[in-house]
Amino acid sequence: MSSSDSLDGLNCVVTGGAQGIGYATALTLARRRGAVAILDLDGELARHGAARITAATGARALGIGCDVRAQASVDSAIAQAVRHLGTVHVLVNNAGIMTPRLAPVADMAAGDFEDMLSVHVRGTFLCSRAAIPFMERARYGRIINISSVLGLVGVPFRIGYAAAKTAINGITRSMAVELARKGVTVNAIAPGYILTDTLRTRLQEGKLDYATHAERAPVGRWGLPEEVAHAIAFLALPTSGFITGAVIPVDGGITIRGDAGEDLGPRPTSMDDVQALFDRNP
Sequence length of the chain is: 282
Cα separation values, 15 from 43, 124, 128, 278, Å: 11, 9, 11, 22
Which SS3 state, helix, strand or coil, does residue 223 take? strand
Reported confidence tier of residue 93, pLDDT bands at 50, 70, 90: very high
Pairing mode, if any, of strands 61-65 and 90-93? unpaired
Reported confidence tier of residue 281, pLDDT bands at 50, 70, 90: low
Helices 272-279 and 225-236 cross at an angle (nearest 10°) of: 50
Per the CB < 8 A criterion, the answer to whether 61 and 14 are in contact is no
Q: What is the CATH number of the domain that holds 208?
A: 3.40.50.720
Print the domain residue range for 197.
3-254+268-277
Res. 1: pLDDT tops 90:
no
Q: How far apart are CA 25 and CA 21, in angstroms?
A: 6
Res. 265: pLDDT tops 90:
no
pLDDT of residue 182: 97
Q: How far apart are CA 194 and CA 252, in angstroms?
A: 10
The amino acid at 24? A
Query: Is residue 260 in some structural domain?
Result: no
Establish whether 161 is a catalytic residue.
yes
Per the CB < 8 A criterion, the answer to whether 35 and 53 are in contact is no
171-177's contacts with Cβ under 8 Å and 24+ in sequence apart are 171/121, 171/124, 171/125, 171/128, 171/145, 172/145, 172/147, 172/245, 172/247, 173/245, 173/247, 175/128, 175/143, 176/244, 176/245, 177/245
- Which residues contact residue 55 at a Cβ distance below 8 angstroms, ignoring those fewer than 6 apart? none
Query: Is residue 153 in some structural domain?
Result: yes
Per the CB < 8 A criterion, the answer to whether 190 and 151 are in contact is yes
DSSP annotation of 120 reads: I
Domain count within the chain: 1
Q: How far apart are CA 32 and CA 26, in angstroms?
A: 10
208-243 tens-digit pLDDT: 899 988 999 999 999 999 999 999 999 999 999 999
Residue 207, judged by CB atoms within 10 A of its CB (0-12, 13-18, 19+), counts as: exposed
pLDDT of residue 274: 85
Q: How far apart are CA 221 and CA 67, in angstroms?
A: 33
Query: Is residue 259 in some structural domain?
Result: no
172-218 tens-digit pLDDT: 999 999 999 999 999 999 999 999 998 999 899 988 899 988 999 99
Which one from 23, 140, 161, 193 is the annotated catalytic residue? 161
Query: Is residue 262 in some structural domain?
Result: no
Query: Is residue 87 in some structural domain?
Result: yes
Higher pLDDT pick, 267 / 132: 132
- Does residue 206 come out as left (phi exceeding 0), alpha (psi in the -120 to 50 range) or beta? left
Cα separation values, 23 from 28, 45, 108, 146, Å: 8, 10, 31, 13
- Which residues contact residue 148 at a Cβ distance below 8 angstroms, ignoring those fewer than 6 apart? 161, 162, 165, 190, 191
